[in-house]
Amino acid sequence: MKIPSPQNRLPHSFYDRDPVQVARELLGMSLLRKTRGKWIGGQIVETEAYLAKGDPASHSTRGKTAGNASMFGPPGTLYVYPIHAKYCLNAVTQSPGVGSAVLIRAIEPRWGLAVMQRQRAIDDLSRLTRGPAMLCQALGVDHSLDASDLVHSSSVGIFQSGQTVSRVCRTARIGVTKAQKRKLRFFIDGNWYVSGRRQDHRTRPTRAINNPIG
């Protein structure tokens, strides 16, 4: 599979919508990070929506702070925050000042496998990008990318893949202590790289990589 063309980046208008809709439609898109002049990354297979209002699990629920300022940026802004000495990345949605975003929880690795394995210090492909912190470590995402513009950044972006995703599951989010029953997590049914419980899938996950490029 070829690396997506720069002309296929998702535009700001894609992100300027309800985070629930964006979270669903990000599935199947390609998340790419440039490191040492080479694009690495894969297909987005799992996301979670975080709302601006009525969502106590969202970082924006108590308003804008120094730590979450990027979450209130323009649609298509990258919001990166630390967790357990690692990081998580989010795509900001809706208008500036709203404070909603989509967490990218997992990707199926497609490009730069050797680089990602080295950055994760593991050989096991099944754990390479299966979870938001693992994903960021594999891609070399840290706080220096916070507030980047996903549409124009030369270091990171989300691209159209040309693939249609039809088998989507919707469940409660993972690891939140508030609003635990809200079904704001989306993932590609049967994909091996989705984090969380295998029994959440309707189709048994298959362990395979689709035409990876090392």
Q: Could you read off the pLDDT of 133-146 as tens digits, one per residue?
A: 999 999 999 999 99
Amino acid at 172: A
Quote the pLDDT of residue 169: 93
State whether the Cα torsion 139-144-148-153 is positive or negative.
Answer: negative
- CATH number of the domain at 175, please: 3.10.300.10
Domain assignment of residue 125, given as a range: 6-200
How distant is the alpha carbon of residue 80 from its chain centre? 11
Quote the pLDDT of residue 207: 66
Report the number of distinct structural domains present in the chain. Answer: 1
* Residue 3: both structure tokens together: 């690396």
Quote the pLDDT of residue 133: 96
DSSP string, 117-161: HHHHT---GGGSSBSHHHHHHHHT--GGGTT-BTTT-SSEEEE--
Average pLDDT value for residue range 172-183: 89
Which residues have C-beta within 8 Å of that of residue 146, sequence separation ≥ 6?
A: 70, 78, 79, 80, 81
Q: What share of the chain is helix, strand, coil (3-state, %, to 5)?
A: 20, 30, 50
Residue 206 placed within a domain: no
Write the pLDDT tens digit of every residue in 66-103: 999 999 999 999 999 999 889 999 999 999 999 999 99
CA distances (Å), origin 76, targets 56, 67, 124: 23, 18, 32
Which residues have C-beta within 8 Å of that of residue 59, sequence separation ≥ 6?
A: 50, 67, 68, 71, 81, 101
Residue 207 placed within a domain: no
**pTM, rounded to two decimals:** 0.93
Residue 209 has pLDDT above 60, yes or no: no
Amino acid at 154: S
